[in-house]
Amino acid sequence: MSTALVAPAAVADPPPADPTPAGPTAAAERRGAELEELIRREPGRFRVLTGDRPTGRLHLGHYFGTLQNRVRLQRLGVELFLIIPDYQVLTDRDVAERLSEHVEGLLLDYLAAGVDPEQAVIFNHSAVPELNQLLLPFLSLVSVAELGRNPTVKDEIAHSRQSAVSGLMFTYPVHQAADILFCRANLVPVGRDQLPHIELTRTIARRFNDRYAADRPLFPEPEALLSAAPLLLGTDGGKMSKSRGNAIALAADADETAQLIRGAKTDADRRISYDPAARPEVSSLVLLAALCQDRDPHQVAAEIGDGGAAALKRTVTEAVNGYLAPLRARRAELSGDRGELRRILRAGNERARAVAESTLDQVRAAMGTVF
Ligand code: TRP
């Protein structure tokens, strides 16, 4: 900031703010509160695009971290595009082998959680050729060094069980930029790990506009909306993850849920309290019950009091199964009508395709490649 803008010394200083955390995550968090306010005021200004890899059943971490929030945004009147990025999972061979099953499961989870397919556009990126064609000009706008520096991709490569890293693994963040920019989404609700991809998307939008559309920018620079991911741990006390067998799937039945919670890690202190720093496992269970009952976790803990782990687990099981019962009933009903599921996906793919065609036409015009 230029010094000319600093308030004159005579004006009383405001009380010192909390030390502001630095870095892209903190910035995205601060911006999140502003965005929430703007959304409440003018939901029609926002087009959201987000999605999940079709790698298996969504669990309670997904539900309370992101899914519930999407349904909330939709109900506020924000336009919602939900992508099922099926090409992206070709980076993982095991998952790719069961792709259509995973795609259908994901669609069921979305619908059961309350996404309205009449309003939202739910689609596969593999079904939208014009979206994929954006990959070519976009790839020309980033350097190999930039791709190699992406911390999320580096991490995924380090943890992948594959002996060789595919070209798709390096370029999927560029594909993700096409996922977002094809419909000119301006808001992308994601977890922290996705921030580098949103940054790259903004870079690509800017470079495209500078190079080909300086007079009339074609792409917006979308913003990340960080999901306020609650700290739900897996039942083993580790990170909740589909692949670790420590997650309660939305689609699980009541018995499977009870069994997972029964086996959950706790600690030796009989008095139940909510103290995530000192007692992460117990607190995560308390939080889960609280989220399902829409209550304050301290209150939930106080009510269990000296009941110990057994009482805590009973409370959590009842809370989770009670909360999920209507969702699971809806899911079961929908899963019986595969024709309807296919119809929903096909309609979503057609709507996405119409949008992508129009964007690609404009991209071609801007690049001077209309022949
Ligand atoms: N990369 C995301 C993930 O791994 C999935 C994804 C693909 C995505 N395309 C997207 C998320 C576009 C948001 C917007 O979870």
pLDDT on residue 18: 42
pTM: 0.90
Pocket test for ligand 1, best of 50, 134, 201, 241 (most atoms within 8 A of CB): 50
Residue 51 beta carbon below 6 angstroms from any ligand 1 atom: yes
Residue 52 beta carbon below 6 angstroms from any ligand 1 atom: yes
Residue 176 beta carbon below 6 angstroms from any ligand 1 atom: yes
Domain 254-334 belongs in CATH node 1.10.240.10: yes
CATH of domain 23-229+338-367: 3.40.50.620
Pairing assessment for the beta strands 223-226 and 79-84 based on DSSP bridges: unpaired
Residue 88 beta carbon below 6 angstroms from any ligand 1 atom: yes
Where are the CATH 3.40.50.620 domain residues in the chain?
23-229+338-367
Cα–Cα distance measured from residue 33 to residue 36, given in angstroms and rounded to the nearest whole number: 5
pLDDT tens sequence for the chain (371 residues): 333 333 333 333 444 444 445 677 788 788 888 999 999 999 999 999 999 999 989 999 999 989 999 999 999 999 999 999 999 988 877 777 889 999 999 999 999 999 999 999 999 999 999 999 999 999 999 999 999 999 999 998 888 877 788 899 999 999 999 999 999 999 999 988 899 999 999 999 999 999 999 999 999 999 999 876 667 999 999 988 877 889 999 999 999 999 999 999 999 999 999 999 999 999 999 999 999 999 999 999 999 999 999 999 999 999 999 999 999 999 999 999 999 999 999 999 999 999 999 999 999 999 999 99
How far, CA to CA in Å, does 36 sit from each of 41, 65, 194, 215?
9, 16, 19, 31
Cα-flanking dihedrals φ and ψ of residue 241, to 5°? Answer: -155, 140
CA of 131 to the centre of ligand 1 (A): 14
**If you take atom 13 of ligand 1, which residue's CA is the nearest one?**
50
Which residues, listed in sequence order, are joined to residue 48 by a DSSP beta bridge? Answer: 80, 187
CA of 331 to the centre of ligand 1 (A): 23
Where are the CATH 1.10.240.10 domain residues in the chain?
254-334
List Cβ neighbours of 265 (8 Å cut-off, separation of 6 or more).
Answer: 235, 236, 237, 281
The token pair at 312 is 């805590």
Query: For the packed helices 338-367 and 308-335, what is the interaxial angle rounded to 10 degrees?
Result: 80
pLDDT on residue 91: 81
**If you take atom 14 of ligand 1, which residue's CA is the nearest one?**
50
Atom of ligand 1 nearest to the CA of 185: 14
Residue 242 beta carbon below 6 angstroms from any ligand 1 atom: no
The token pair at 317 is 């099981």
Atom of ligand 1 nearest to the CA of 176: 9
Residue 180 beta carbon below 6 angstroms from any ligand 1 atom: yes
The dihedral over CA atoms of 54, 55, 58, 60, expressed in degrees to the nearest 10, equals -140
Residue 188 beta carbon below 6 angstroms from any ligand 1 atom: yes
Which residues, listed in sequence order, are joined to residue 122 by a DSSP beta bridge? Answer: 82
List Cβ neighbours of 74 (8 Å cut-off, separation of 6 or more).
Answer: 80, 115, 116, 119, 120
Please name which of 46, 198, 219, 223 lies closest in space to residue 134, comparing C-alpha atoms: 219
Residue 83 beta carbon below 6 angstroms from any ligand 1 atom: yes
pLDDT on residue 22: 62
Contact 198, 227 (CB under 8 A): no
**If you take atom 8 of ligand 1, which residue's CA is the nearest one?**
51
